[in-house]
Amino acid sequence: MGLREFEDATGRSWRVWDTYPSTPTGNDDTALVKFMKRQPGDQGVQPLGVRSHLAAGWLTFGSGDERKRIAPVPADWQTCDLPRLRELLQGAEIVKARAH
């Protein structure tokens, strides 16, 4: 997992990390697809039905309570320059908070 921190054009701080789904282990045919929450500091596994366009993974952008994502994971995201990272953020979709 990679992690980058940067500021957008307005000076707002963002963190960005890659997230990849994995399939459940064991013989439970009713298990949902699970993914490792790849947010820094969170080691838990949370069940989630993964949409097909997210199956190959996505980038998660986080700033405070706001989350955005873009899929699939761009190959250059860990090494690209700041303008490219800001461009990826601009193209990312807002992720609505999930009810617990």
Asked whether residue 30 is assigned to any structural domain, the reply reads yes
- Sequence-distant (6+) residues with CB within 8 A of 51 are none
Q: Which long-range contacts (CB under 8 A, 24 or more apart) does 76-82 make?
A: 77/2, 77/4, 77/16, 77/18, 78/2, 78/4, 82/6
| Percentage with pLDDT > 90 across the chain | 55
How many of the other CB atoms lie within 10 Å of CB of 45?
12
Task: Give the residue ranges of the chain where pLDDT is below 70.
Answer: 23-51, 98-100
Give per-residue pLDDT as tens, 60-80.
999 999 999 999 999 999 999
Per-residue pLDDT at 21: 84
pTM over 0.75: no
Asked whether residue 100 is assigned to any structural domain, the reply reads no
Distance CA 85, CA 32 (A): 32
Asked whether residue 39 is assigned to any structural domain, the reply reads yes
Per-residue pLDDT at 23: 58
How many domains, in total, are found in the chain? 1
Domain that holds residue 72: 3-94
Strand partners of residue 56: none
Asked whether residue 18 is assigned to any structural domain, the reply reads yes
